[in-house]
Amino acid sequence: YLSDYFSIRSTIISRYASTHVQTVLRNTHPEAKEAIFDLDLPASAFISNFTITINNKFYVAEVKEKHQAKKMYDEARRQGKTAAHVGTRDRETEKFRVSASVSAGNQVSFELSYEELLHRHLGKYQHAVSVRPRQVVGNLTVEVSISERTGIDYVHVLPLRTSQTGGRGEWDADVPPSTRVEKGSHCAWIVFTPTPQEQAAFSSAGIMGDFVVQYDVALPDVAGDVQIYNGYFVHYFAPRGLLPVQKNVVFVIDVSGSMYGTKMKQTKKAMHVILSDLHPDDCFNIVTFSDAVHVWKAGRSIPATAHNIRSWKTVNQILLPFLPSGTDINKALLEAASVLTQSPLEPSPQRIPLLIFLTDGEATAGVTSGTRILVNARQALRGIISLFGLAFGDDADYGLLRRLALENRGVARRIYEDSDAALQLTGFYDEIASPLLYDVALSYRDGIDLTRTLFPNYFHGSELVVAGRVAPGATEFHIQTVSHGHNGQLSLENDISANATEAATFGCSLDLGQIGRFVQRLWAYFTIQDLLQARFRSNDTTARRLLIEKATNLSLKYNFVTPVTSLVVVKLEEEENATAQAIGTPDPPSLRREGSD
Ligand SMILES: *[C@@H]1O[C@H](CO)[C@@H](O)[C@H](O)[C@H]1NC(C)=O
Ligand SMILES: *[C@@H]1O[C@H](CO)[C@@H](O)[C@H](O)[C@H]1NC(C)=O
Ligand SMILES: *[C@@H]1O[C@H](CO)[C@@H](O)[C@H](O)[C@H]1NC(C)=O
Ligand SMILES: *[C@@H]1O[C@H](CO)[C@@H](O)[C@H](O)[C@H]1NC(C)=O
Ligand SMILES: *[C@@H]1O[C@H](CO)[C@@H](O)[C@H](O)[C@H]1NC(C)=O
Ligand SMILES: *[C@@H]1O[C@H](CO)[C@@H](O)[C@H](O)[C@H]1NC(C)=O
């Protein structure tokens, strides 16, 4: 197959990115052949449309409830309309793959759209698109436009990223060639159009990498930015210039036999960096565990003074794998909680208690029932301690860590076994190293159908986002923010006219309809994410079923492919021997790759 055309266009409006990918393939073989379209997309993205055009005939994929999609797919297969594919997980990306049979000399066009909310980490938003056409393409374009109502601070285009580990291709130096960046105060426009010669210079198979744009917004108002369109609102809250709150951090590190070797080396390297970066006002302690639990400084945390840290010595002394051994997650959690709940050494202002828990395995010693561990952890952490779970490698019980974190004010993250694991660990730590506020409660009089409004922590460089609807008839929108920080309680109140942003366009888009639609889609996207997360937290089957049903209804209404829906194309023309496609994202796929496609 020959590709004449490959284009990616992303429109980002207030952090909400809609991306459209199109590729045109021409069958140059003398007989009918399978054309394959595959693409990596971010795991948090929802596919919102997919179409195939063959011989000027248009086939739009339908989003269906997962089980119904499976039935349609099975039926299509029975009728001989073969083939299927499912996304597989690779780090933070989702693989989308579709094939269609096209007769000699004809061409096929694949068009995929997906949407995602960009999150702010360490003071930047990052948007990455996968550019992997697998050949040199006559006409290759990547175009990104960014519109931000409160202004754009900066825009950077990174060198093409050829692997998630940051590996680089031929052009390692800086911005890819044929990249143009135009930045205004509220609109930025980035276009990347490498010529066939430039693509060939990258590799004989053309460009294979992620085109990555980073930017940050200006947010001068401490109360953040509220946008209201068509009865939906979004509130971005990210006060700048606050002083960090001191923290009491306990690192709980798995030293069971399976950590031996590379994983332990990487963990030590990361801990060395992390300990060296602790603020002298912070307190810390280290708990190691296998089937036994060892607390470094018995009883409680100690101040993170240079004298106490001596990072390499400490790290080498403490992180000794106990061989061979089980994994007592329960006991390790309880010991760490007890360290954190001891009274501080000297009278001191409030310290935020953080528990960073790293394991590469499942609970195999002591209490091994996930349910009991969850109950025990909830009791021991008392709704005060924030738990961050790091699942190192494929054998770690990510499901348990995720629930532990969600139920205890934190988040869980996968750490991939790769050469950059130490960087992944320090990178995650950096995100939570500077807590600025805790127990942040946002409330909206006349706000309904709100997404999550309570946030245990607000870290430096991040952002809290709430979306919802404005009650019908409301003219004034009243927002109240209550939180705690370095100087005690911080309260803010704002009144915003409910039609304040209706009339104004901003950024690159002069289309009020487009700007108006984004808030509603963002609300739906966010609400579905919330519902799916609540499903993991809930242990009542009736409640779970209701959450799934709500998420399914919203996914269908907004045409989103989510963990509860799938995409199906079945009605291709007979002579083209259509392929039935079902794509499941991003949870355990309900369909396995079958048959010959
Ligand atoms: C999907 O894309 C096709 C072709 O671009 C378009 O005609 C159709 O309206 C889109 N559907 C939705 C739900 O956006
Ligand atoms: C479709 O299938 C028929 C019979 O199986 C075959 O003769 C024909 O060549 C196929 N057409 C394409 C485009 O694959
Ligand atoms: C490439 O695509 C763009 C956008 O569709 C079009 O304007 C341009 O004429 C195309 N160039 C070539 C060489 O096909
Ligand atoms: C908002 O509504 C008020 C009264 O309902 C009206 O006076 C004002 O002109 C409106 N503003 C905009 C920007 O539409
Ligand atoms: C889960 O179940 C336990 C006891 O079985 C109960 O104490 C707890 O409140 C439940 N949690 C939720 C979120 O329903
Ligand atoms: C979901 O949609 C179905 C069909 O429209 C409806 O019967 C059901 O009540 C909806 N469920 C929820 C939880 O909204």
- Which CATH number does the domain housing residue 487 bear? 2.60.40.2450
The closest residue, in CA terms, to atom 2 on ligand 4 is 499
The closest residue, in CA terms, to atom 6 on ligand 6 is 553
The DSSP output letter for 259 is G
264 & 391 share domain: yes
Predicted pLDDT at 13: 94
272 & 419 share domain: yes
The closest residue, in CA terms, to atom 2 on ligand 2 is 577
- Tell whether the model's pLDDT for residue 518 goes beyond 80: yes
Q: Is the CB of 449 under 6 A from ligand 6?
A: no
For residue 476, the tally of other CB atoms under 10 A from its CB is 11
- Write the single-letter amino acid at 538: S
Burial of 224: CB neighbours in 10 Å, binned 0-12, 13-18, 19+: buried
Predicted pLDDT at 180: 94
236 & 269 share domain: no
The DSSP output letter for 215 is E
Q: Which ligand is nearest to the CA of 543?
A: 5
399 & 332 share domain: yes
Torsion sign (Cα): 553, 558, 561, 563: negative
Predicted pLDDT at 195: 94
Query: How far apart (Å, rounded) are the C-alpha atoms in residues 68 and 578?
Result: 19
CA 500 / ligand 4 centre spacing (Å): 7
CA 575 / ligand 2 centre spacing (Å): 6
443 & 386 share domain: no
Query: How far apart (Å, rounded) are the C-alpha atoms in residues 461 and 191?
Result: 27
| Angle subtended at Cα 449 by Cα 548 and Cα 511, rounded to the nearest 5 degrees | 105
Predicted pLDDT at 322: 66
Write down which residue in 406, 433, 460 finishes a domain: 433
* Index of the ligand 5 atom closest to the CA of residue 407: 13
The closest residue, in CA terms, to atom 10 on ligand 5 is 539
392 & 477 share domain: no
325 & 340 share domain: yes
Q: How confident is the model at residue 86 (pLDDT cuts 50, 70, 90)?
A: very low
364 & 389 share domain: yes
Residue 576 placed within a domain: no
349 & 468 share domain: no
CA distances from 290 to 257, 381, 413 (A): 8, 21, 21
Lining ligand 3 with CB less than 6 A are 138-139
Write down which residue in 433, 465, 485 finishes a domain: 433
pLDDT digits (tens, 9 = 90+) for 101-150: 777 888 889 999 999 999 999 999 999 999 999 899 999 999 999 999 99
Its domain, for residue 475, covers 225-242+436-557
Query: How far apart (Å, rounded) are the C-alpha atoms in residues 330 and 252?
Result: 12
CA 65 / ligand 6 centre spacing (Å): 12
Which of 60, 111, 559 should be mutated for ligand 1, with most atoms under 8 A from CB? Answer: 60
Structural domain count, the chain: 2
Phi first, then psi: give them for residue 151, nearest 5 degrees.
110, 155
The closest residue, in CA terms, to atom 3 on ligand 6 is 553
Q: In the chain, pLDDT over 70 holds for what percent of residues?
A: 89
CA 152 / ligand 4 centre spacing (Å): 27
Q: Is the CB of 350 under 6 A from ligand 6?
A: no
Residue 588 placed within a domain: no
Query: How far apart (Å, rounded) are the C-alpha atoms in residues 466 and 223?
Result: 13
CA 502 / ligand 4 centre spacing (Å): 9
Strand ranges for 118-241 from DSSP E? 125-131, 139-147, 152-157, 179-183, 187-192, 209-217, 225-229, 232-237
Query: How far apart (Å, rounded) are the C-alpha atoms in residues 308 and 394?
Result: 34
328 & 418 share domain: yes
Q: Is the CB of 539 under 6 A from ligand 4?
A: no
- Beta strands at 412-415 and 435-445: parallel, antiparallel or unpaired: unpaired
Residue 425 placed within a domain: yes
* Index of the ligand 6 atom closest to the CA of residue 553: 1
Kindly report the pTM of this predicted structure: 0.88
- Tell whether the model's pLDDT for residue 583 goes beyond 50: no
Predicted pLDDT at 572: 54
Phi first, then psi: give them for residue 359, nearest 5 degrees.
-145, 155
Q: Which of 69-83, 226-240, 384-398 has the lowest mean pLDDT?
A: 69-83
Write down which residue in 395, 414, 433 finishes a domain: 433
Predicted pLDDT at 507: 87
- Tell whether the model's pLDDT for residue 566 goes beyond 90: no
CA distances from 577 to 76, 426, 573, 597 (A): 11, 51, 7, 11
CA 495 / ligand 4 centre spacing (Å): 14
Residue 12 placed within a domain: no
Residue 232 placed within a domain: yes
Residue 393 placed within a domain: yes
Structure token pair of residue 46: 């929802």
Which of 79, 103, 577 should be mutated for ligand 2, with most atoms under 8 A from CB? Answer: 577
- Which CATH number does the domain housing residue 325 bear? 3.40.50.410
Phi first, then psi: give them for residue 136, nearest 5 degrees.
-75, 130
318 & 381 share domain: yes
Q: Is the CB of 82 under 6 A from ligand 2?
A: no
Which of 499, 501, 505, 512 should be mutated for ligand 4, with most atoms under 8 A from CB? Answer: 499
Across the chain, mean pLDDT equals 85
Q: Is the CB of 111 under 6 A from ligand 1?
A: yes
CA 576 / ligand 2 centre spacing (Å): 7
- Tell whether the model's pLDDT for residue 164 goes beyond 80: no
Q: Which residues pair with 302 in a beta bridge?
A: 284
Tallying the residues shown for the chain, one arrives at 597
The DSSP output letter for 246 is P
CA dihedral 147, 148, 153, 154 (to 10 degrees): -20
Sheet containing 447-448: give its strands across: 225-229, 232-237, 464-470, 447-448
392 & 454 share domain: no
Give the distance between the most distant pair of CA atoms in the chain. 82
Torsion sign (Cα): 433, 438, 439, 445: negative
Query: How far apart (Å, rounded) are the C-alpha atoms in residues 429 and 431?
Result: 5
- Beta strands at 476-485 and 488-497: parallel, antiparallel or unpaired: antiparallel
Q: Is the CB of 60 under 6 A from ligand 1?
A: yes
Predicted pLDDT at 348: 54
Q: How confident is the model at residue 151 (pLDDT cuts 50, 70, 90)?
A: very high
Residue 271 placed within a domain: yes
For residue 174, the tally of other CB atoms under 10 A from its CB is 11
The closest residue, in CA terms, to atom 3 on ligand 3 is 139
* Index of the ligand 4 atom closest to the CA of residue 498: 1
Query: How far apart (Å, rounded) are the C-alpha atoms in residues 130 and 90?
Result: 13
Q: How confident is the model at residue 323 (pLDDT cuts 50, 70, 90)?
A: low
CA 60 / ligand 1 centre spacing (Å): 7
Predicted pLDDT at 93: 65
Residue 101 placed within a domain: no
CA 533 / ligand 6 centre spacing (Å): 19
